[in-house]
Structure formats: C-alpha cells, structure tokens
Structure 1
Amino acid sequence: MTTPTSPAPPTGTAAQVATLRADLAAAGFTVDGVAALLGDVAGAALHREQRVPALRLARAADAPVATLVRLFMLGDEVTAADLAAALPGSGAAGAQALGLAAAAGAAPDDAVRALVDLRPYGATDAAGAAHWWVASDLGEVETGAPLTADHVLGIGGASLTLAQLTVRDARPRVLDLGTGCGVQALHAARHSEHVVATDVSARALGFAAFNAALAGTAFDLRRGSLLEPVAAEVFDLVVSNPPFVITPAAAYDAGLPLMEYRDAGRGGDLLVRDLVTGVGAHLAPGGVAQLLGNWEHHAGQAWQERVSGWLEASGLDGWVVQREVQDPAEYAELWLRDGGLRPELDRDAYEAAYAAWLGDFEARGVAGIGFGYVVLHRPAAPRAPWHRVEEVTGPVQGPLGPHVAEVLAARAWLADLEADGAGRPAGLAALAQRRLVVAPDVTEERYLAPGAADPQVLQLRQGGGLGRVVRPGTVVAGAVGACDGELTLGQIVAGLAALLEVPADAVAAEVLPAARELLLDGFLRPAP
C-alpha cells in the first residue's frame, strides 16, 4: 500500500527522457565516471553504506558528475544553478518535471533535493556489456531514515546475482516476475522479442516504465501477484527475484512493516515452493525458469530431501544450488535491520519482533535458512526429468549464465544419447562411442612431495562456472588428458587398459561414470 510520503515514480515524454539521457552521458555520469571521482576508498565506503568519504570528495569537485553524485546517490542538496549546469538540456526545471527532484524555489541559488535515487549501472552478463541508468526509491544512505513499506528497491546484490546467473541466448518471450525497478527486464530486453514484467506494486511498475524509457526500450508491464497476470500464457524464459523473505505474522504484529519488495505475506517458504511447483505451467518446451529463494532447514530432515520434493512436484528438470545458510538468529537480525527496526531506536519493538521471529522458527522446527539459485527446464520433448540439489559455497568467476546453458545442453545431450529408440535408458555404452574435449577453463594441478616421482594429489580445477575442484584418480585423469576430440571415449579406455595391462571392463567401469559426471559439471564437452 502506497504511503502518503512516497513520491510518485518519475515519468516524462519520450523527448524529455531522451534529453535527460543525453545530459547524463555528457556529464560523465557513468560507472567509470563515478569510480574515477570517488576512488577506491570512498567507493568501498559507499558500498558499506557510509557516505561521508564520498560526500567530501564530491563536494570538493567542480564537475557535473560530482553534482549528480551528490544529488542522486548521496542525498545531498545542490543549487538549481549547479543542477542546470550538470543537466544543460533538461535544466533544473526539467528534472523537476520528470519527478526526479524538488526545488525550494525558482532562484538559481535555491536548494534542490532528489526525490529518487538515480545512478549509472554497468554489468557484463552472458550477452555482453550493458550500460544504463536506473532509478529507484531513495535508500537509507540518502535519507538517513528507515525504508517505507512501499519502497522500490534499486540495484542490490541479489539483482546482480540473478542477472549474472541467467541464460542469455535468444528467447522470444521472457517473463520478469516481480520486476521491481526493472533491472532483470532490462537485461532480458537485449535477447528477447517481448518482455513481460509483473509486480504487485504499482510504484514499482512506474519505476520500471521510466527505466525502460531511459534505456530506449519498453516492457509489457502488468500489475498482479506472482503468476496471476500471465494466466494461460507461456514463456521461453522466466526470471524472478521474488519476495521470498520468511517473516512470521507475529513480527508484523510487533511493529515490523510488511515491505512490498521482500515480503509476500505467506507462511514459511511457501512462496518459493509454489513458484517452483507452479511455474512449469508457463514454460514453453525448451523453456527455462531461474529464480532466487530461501528455503527452511527443518530439524530431522535433510534440506536436500525437502527441496527435492518441490522439484519432483514440478515435473521439470531441476537444479538447486545452495550458496549460504544462516541460523535463525542471523536471519532475523538481517531482516529486522532491513525493515528499519533497530535496538538503538526502539529496543522494545526490536526485541518483540526478534522474539516473534525466533518463536516462529522454533515452533516449526526450523534450524536454519538456506539461500541460493533454482534453475528449472522444460525439455523440448517429453522424457523423465533430471534433478540435482547441492551446496556450492565457494567464489564464482564471471557470469554464470553461460555455465548454466552448458549444463542444460549437456543434460539434454546425455538424455538423448542414453535412451534407445523406445526412450528407455541405454546405459553408458553410448557415451563410450562419443568423442569429448576438455573445457578450455579446466586446468590440472599436481602436488608432489620434494624428490617424489609421482604426485600425492592430482586434481582438476574449473576456472569458470561454479569453480569446482575434483580429484579424479590416476586412471580417470589419464582419460581426461586424452580427451582432445580425436579418439572416442571407448578408444581411450582401450588404450589405457593396454597401457596399464588391466581388463578394459575394469577401466571402463571407472572412467565412463566419471566422464559422465565431468561432462555434467562442465569439465568435459562433446567434441564439435
């Protein structure tokens, strides 16, 4: 529900928005321009939500980019004259007409304050480099006050994670479910013919419309909860950073506001479960759904078992990667602060909501809360679905979208390969007839004791993707080393058996299953 103090989202004519776009570019208000102004120390402090170092530098600089950083990123007042110099085409009056700022008066020296957060955004995903400006509601750094219940969030860590995770091949129809200010829709518009963006918040849709116009594109915007606005429609790609935060009703009773961007008002992790089990009805054959989410760890049940049940119910191929786990206290503290309840401001309300959170988790046997990625896929032709549920907590390098696409392609390739004409499993024999190559980001590492002839540890390391490391054993490592696309896997097995003077069946029993897993993990690929 929109509060009276929340300003309307920015809006303007195509000509007004085009003039603003040109002004922002000419001012050097870009990711690189802001980084050059702030430097490493102030930039890192701002990332930690500390504005003082950046404010000192921006106030000392006499440049259009400094004025725009002060106004739109730091919540500082500037004069109408300074803003007019920074945006010569739009002027201070144009910024006010667009709903970006408000002035104390009409004189050049009158103060102007921002009504929205507006900042440059740059990212590299599987489709290449992207550069836009993104408007959202002012955050705590700019206002010094807690967020309002109808706050429209800007670019955060979760948004960046999902953008990097998403596959970026050509997808005619894309759905951005819970679009917020439209970041995922902006990414999707570069490789889709039609982008539908939904949200329960009318203010969020207003920001998404403005950001699309500022980027020179447009979305099909629809208001409604989750999948309701797209009933009976199917898509080639669905992306969602949904309001998955697990907030008990008792915490709201204690004074915590229901934040539209993070809270769906459902019990436990039912929202994520319902999305996983329900999104398949909206996926075209070959379609992919990718979302972020939380899931509960219940005492007495492995979390993998619980989430696997969701995948089974979906009827789709499914891959869940847990990236982080928090205990109930950590989880409550994180989202209490995000919701504006802090012990130094209102200790009684804070502790009441905290106790409500812990009480709810305790009553339902919640021992921890996981966070991670969900990838779902509808096969192009009917077949038995595959599922994988795992935990990978190490750092990842670069966009994960290409790796996700490779994993889905490898799974489909194996599914076709390992089925006979009637669709029955044909085992690993078919894999032995194929030629494989080592992925270009894979390296082999050998660790030897001083003076030793043979390594004590031999491992394969993935430079991209999820950065996996495997220790394959000497025989499997030898087979991987020979996968250069010239010989079939069966020929490699035969050669190793002759070299080691052991039965070929014994080598095949070790190599073929391992090669299958290495193929699925991205260490090996089918030869072109």
Structure 2
Amino acid sequence: MNAPADQHPVTDPAALALLADDLRTVGYTVEGVEDVLGPVASAALHREEPLPARRATAGLVADAPGERVATLVRAFLLGSSVRRDAVDRALPTLGVAGAVRLGLLAAAGRGDSDEVRARVDLRPYAAFDGGGAVDWWIASDLGELATGGALRTDHVLGVGGASTTLAQVTVRDPRERVLDLGTGCGIQALHASRHAAAVVGTDISARALGFARFNAALAGLGDDRLTLRLGSMLEPVAGEQFDLVVSNPPFVITPRVEGVPAYEYRDGGQAGDAIVRELVEGVGAVLAPGGVAQLLGNWEVRRGEDWSERIGTWVEASGLDAWVVQRELQDPAQYAETWIRDGGTTPDRDRAAWDARYGAWLDDFASRDVEAIGFGIVTLRRPLSGPPTLRRLEEVTGSVRQPLGPVVSAVLAAHDALDRLDDDALAATHLTVAPDVTEERYLTPGAADPQVVLLRQGGGFGRAVQAGTALAGFVGACDGELSAGQIIGALGALLGVPAADVAADVLPDVRGLVRDGLLLT
C-alpha cells in the first residue's frame, strides 16, 4: 500500500469540503491533538519520538472521548495501520471510500476490521503571523517517523521550522501580487493569500505543486486567487513583477558526488551556495518598485573571511536595499550531521552510508576552504527611485519575539523616514519610548552612578543598547512633550556642555534607536 512515485492527493472540491467539515467536527486541530496526546507525548512527537504518542492513542474504544482524533493521529501522523470502521467514525461524511478516492488512504479490504493506512501526512497547522492567527490542515509526504525509512528524493516536505520562521518574519501589509518561489506544500502561499489580491506559487516539482493545490483547496482558496506554475526558480515568472516575493528555497549545500542523494525539497542542484547567490542577485528582476523579497538561505564562510563578506558581495550585485540577519553559524561537521540526518540516514541504521556521506560533505567544504556555514534571513527591496540606501548585515543569534513581520515593516518604514530627515529635522521631532523598552542600570555596590546603562527591547529582535549618560538622559525624557532639540538643549545646560556637542554625541544613536523601534516618532 505504498504510494506510487508520482502520487499526490486529488483535488476534488466537493470531497474536500466534506473532509474539512469532518476534521473540524471531530476536533482534529492542533489543540485537539495536544489534548488527546497530553503534554509529554506531544512534546516527544515534536522531537520525532513516536512511542509516547502510540501509547497515548492505543486502546481507545469506539466513541470514547478523543477516539476519533486518536485514529487520525495514528493514521496520518504515526503511519500506523487502523481499522476501517474506526476511520469511518473519524471521517463520518467522507468515509474511508472518499479518503481513498482523494489519495489520502489505502485500504486492504472493505470489512470493518480490514487494515487502512495513510498514503500522505495530513496534520493540523496553527500559527500566528503578522496578520493574525491561522488554522489549516496541511498534506505532505509521510516522513521518516511514519515510514521507518529514508526519505525519497522527490519527498514533499510539510511545515518545518524554516517554513514557520519565514511565515512569521514576512511582512503582511496588503500587496497586489505575491510570488511564493519554491512553494513546496504551499504553506507560504496560504499565508500570503490573506493579504494579497493574487498569489503565484512556483516549484520545480510537479508532485509538490499537486500537494500545494490540494492544500489550497482544502483551505478554501480557489484558482482565482492562487496560480501554480512548474519550473525552476524565477523562470516561470520571467518578465512579470510582484509586490512581495517569499522563498524558502532549496538552499542546502550538498556534495555533487555519487552516493549522496539530492532531495528536491532542499537541494537546488548547484554547487555550494550558488542557488542563494543567484536568487539574491536576480530576484530584483521580478520586483516592482517598492517591492520586497524575503528569503531564507545558507552562505559559506571561507578561510580568512568574515561571514558578511560573501553575502555582502551578492547584496551589492543585487542593486537592492538589503537587510541580512545571520541567525546561526555551523561548522562543516555540524552542518553535515544536520542534513544527513534530515534525509533519514543515521549512524545506527546504516553506518557505512553515514560515514560515506559524512566524508563527502567534509571533502566538499574543504575543496572550497569553507570554515563555517551561515543561516539567516534576507530582506531585499527595490527602491521606489534612485539607488539603494539600506545596507545592513548583522548577526542576531539570541531569542527573538515572533512574529517579526511587523517589526521588519516598521524598520523599513523607519529607515525611509530617517533617510528624509537631516539632523535639524530630527531635532524638531517629538519622540516617545516604545512600550516594550526597559532600562537596566548596573552599579558597583556603594557607587553613586551606574557603570553601565542598558536600554532593552522586550519584543522583536530583543535588542540591548548600551547608553552613555547623555543618551540615557535623552531617552528618559522622551515622553512626546518636548522635541528632541529641546531635550538636547536641556541636557547641555544640565551637563555644562554646548548643545551642539550633545547633539553630535546623541543624534547618531537616536537614529539607531528610532530605526530599531526603541524610540517612536
């Protein structure tokens, strides 16, 4: 009862309406699944450990509380066989027959006790992005946990950590046309559909587009709102323009040698980090003026280079405004281990394959003098006119407060506003401290004055800015009543320093605080 190589769910709107009603009625939601599993089994399942979930869902009698949700969990999340009559209870209007026609299940027979198995992973999805809460069901290929084997190379991935990160960091202000490049199962397109008039999703995998079409229809999104196109990278949309481009591209750096499988969902078919370079340098061709592109990616850090040098050259070549945030830096061994395991190969299951692939990854990185691999978020924007004015490459490895989409929008808007303000205009501005900002003072016992003053941001990127005496006094007076210039004048009188000197000391830092949202105009 394994799925054929080209299998993906069937998009039948009438049957999908029945499926959605059934899933909603029985409570097959993120909250409903967690209620049935309990906190321990839920947490274990998130770590890809199925045993506690199998125990939590075993032995429930017909019509017991949670029995129908438990049946769906065992079938679609754990890959276990279930009785036909149990699935008929869990999908009371669609039934096993309807689910088989949709390509969701395979049934061994028609008897109540006959075995039924899932052909796809179908799970509830709930998230909170910059536009608010979402609640859908997402179909994808069964993963290693359910199949017990390595992934097929044309595996269609469900919603992972990278997908969630991109969805939460994407700007969500209204847009006319949005491109989801490398749509996969379609999750970014679904998010985009809530604030865009039209969405185009592209992918090199026909199977992925089949899953994306199914998921969109299950969410009630029609063909008039979402167009799906087959093709590599920007080729299917050449000559078009979009107001927003989002992409979780196949950025994983993979050795091009025999014996190392290339998975479509993560491998763009090029050597090193070329796929991300091409996207960063080329995406401007499909961006409308003022349009924003946001993508995740890896970049190599080669011997003798700072992490920002390589991607910095890509940014310069793009001709776009750019803000790059590096979130993680791995050494070659860590990177190899991560992605070999991701494909389903482990040292305890197949030591020879593990060692061969591990060695291939290390050899590949060594051939280019790669000492580390960065992972992060790239935000690009086509200026409305003139040359780019935003160049920001920074490392933020600590915890952040999601969703970051509104923060990204605010930072871009603040950059534009500050770009139009000279120091005199900024001095005339009335500023207030953002409500999530606190001040921390560190003193040596017995000292009258603090050695260190930190302004700490509670939300967004959680920035901590060390402030000198003048800057701390300035921020403390920003309640909107006095202009920045008036506060500077008062500080000069208090400190016995010319106001011009205070302004020269404080205003550059004030620009940074406004840009990052610690001070509001």
TM-score bracket relative to the smaller structure: over 0.9
Q: Which residue of 1 aligns with 2:495?
A: 500
Q: Is the 8 A contact 1:100 1:115 kept in 2?
A: yes
1:454 to 439, 449, 458: 449
Q: Distance in 2 between matches of 1:43 and 1:276?
A: 38
Q: Secondary structure at the residue paired with 1:313?
A: helix
Q: Which residue of 2 aligns with 1:329?
A: 333
Q: Is the 8 A contact 1:290 1:374 kept in 2?
A: yes
1:488 to 479, 483, 487: 483
Structure 1 portions without partners, runs of 5+: 419-427
Q: Secondary structure at the residue paired with 2:300?
A: strand
Q: Which residue of 2 aligns with 1:215?
A: 219
| Displacement after TM superposition at 1:525 (Å) | 1.9
Correspondence 1:126 to 2:130:
yes
TM-score by length of 2: 0.96
* Paired amino acid for 1:84: D
* Paired amino acid for 1:379: P
Q: Is the 8 A contact 1:315 1:385 kept in 2?
A: no
Give CA deviations for 1:211-266 in whole Å, capped at 9, x if unaligned: 0000000320000000000000110110000000111212xx1x121100000110
Q: Is the 8 A contact 2:11 2:217 kept in 1?
A: no
| Displacement after TM superposition at 1:9 (Å) | 1.0
Q: Is the 8 A contact 2:303 2:371 kept in 1?
A: yes
Q: Which residue of 2 aligns with 1:267?
A: 271
1:101-116 to 2 correspondence within 5 Å? 101-116=105-120
Q: Secondary structure at the residue paired with 1:410?
A: helix
Q: What's the % identity of the aligned pairs? A: 62
1:151-162 to 2 correspondence within 5 Å? 151-162=155-166
Q: Which residue of 2 aligns with 1:429?
A: 424
Correspondence 1:347 to 2:354:
no
Q: Distance in 2 between matches of 1:150 and 1:381?
A: 42
Q: Is the 8 A contact 1:189 1:195 kept in 2?
A: yes
Correspondence 1:6 to 2:2:
no
Structure 2 portions without partners, runs of 5+: none
Report how many aligned residue pairs link the two structures. 512
Q: Secondary structure at the residue paired with 1:9?
A: coil
Q: Is the 8 A contact 2:319 2:387 kept in 1?
A: no
Give CA deviations for 1:159-199 in whole Å, capped at 9, x if unaligned: 00000100001011000000000010010000000000000
Q: Distance in 2 between matches of 1:497 and 1:186?
A: 54
Q: Distance in 1 between matches of 2:279 and 2:72?
A: 40
| Displacement after TM superposition at 1:108 (Å) | 1.2
Q: Distance in 2 between matches of 1:60 and 1:474?
A: 67
Pairwise CA RMSD of aligned residues?
Answer: 1.4
Q: Is the 8 A contact 1:437 1:485 kept in 2?
A: yes
Indicate the larger mover: 454-463 or 189-198: 454-463
Q: Which residue of 1 aligns with 2:240?
A: 233
Q: Which residue of 2 aligns with 1:514?
A: 509
Q: Secondary structure at the residue paired with 1:353?
A: helix
Q: Is the 8 A contact 1:12 1:97 kept in 2?
A: no
Give CA deviations for 1:291-317 in whole Å, capped at 9, x if unaligned: 000000010121212211111111111
Give CA deviations for 1:317-345 in whole Å, capped at 9, x if unaligned: 10101011110111111111222333334
Q: Secondary structure at the residue paired with 2:406?
A: helix
Q: Is the 8 A contact 1:410 1:525 kept in 2?
A: no
* Paired amino acid for 1:310: W
Q: Is the 8 A contact 1:323 1:392 kept in 2?
A: yes
Correspondence 1:245 to 2:259:
no
Indicate the larger mover: 432-441 or 151-160: 432-441
Q: Which residue of 1 aligns with 2:391?
A: 387
Q: Secondary structure at the residue paired with 2:58?
A: helix
Q: Distance in 2 between matches of 1:81 and 1:172?
A: 47
Q: Distance in 2 between matches of 1:350 and 1:12?
A: 38
1:476 to 471, 475, 481: 471
2:291 to 279, 287, 296: 287
| Displacement after TM superposition at 1:452 (Å) | 3.9
Q: Which residue of 1 aligns with 2:21?
A: 22
1:293-332 to 2 correspondence within 5 Å? 293-332=297-336
Q: Distance in 2 between matches of 1:151 and 1:75?
A: 16
Indicate the larger mover: 113-122 or 334-343: 334-343
Indicate the larger mover: 108-117 or 302-311: 302-311
1:119-198 to 2 correspondence within 5 Å? 119-198=123-202
Q: Distance in 2 between matches of 1:452 and 1:135?
A: 62
Q: Distance in 2 between matches of 1:346 and 1:459?
A: 51
Q: Is the 8 A contact 2:170 2:246 kept in 1?
A: yes
Give CA deviations for 1:343-390 in whole Å, capped at 9, x if unaligned: 334333332222221112112110000001000011223244220111
Q: Secondary structure at the residue paired with 2:37?
A: helix
Q: Distance in 2 between matches of 1:90 and 1:453?
A: 74
Give CA deviations for 1:90-117 in whole Å, capped at 9, x if unaligned: 0110111111000000111111000000
Q: Mark the CA change 1:432 to 1:383 in structure 2 (over 3 Å): closer, same or farther.
A: farther
Q: Distance in 1 between matches of 2:314 and 2:506?
A: 33
Q: Secondary structure at the residue paired with 1:417?
A: coil
| Displacement after TM superposition at 1:451 (Å) | 4.5
Q: Secondary structure at the residue paired with 1:371?
A: strand
Q: Which residue of 2 aligns with 1:361?
A: 365
Q: Mark the CA change 1:4 to 1:213 in structure 2 (over 3 Å): closer, same or farther.
A: closer
TM-score by length of 1: 0.95
| Displacement after TM superposition at 1:436 (Å) | 1.8
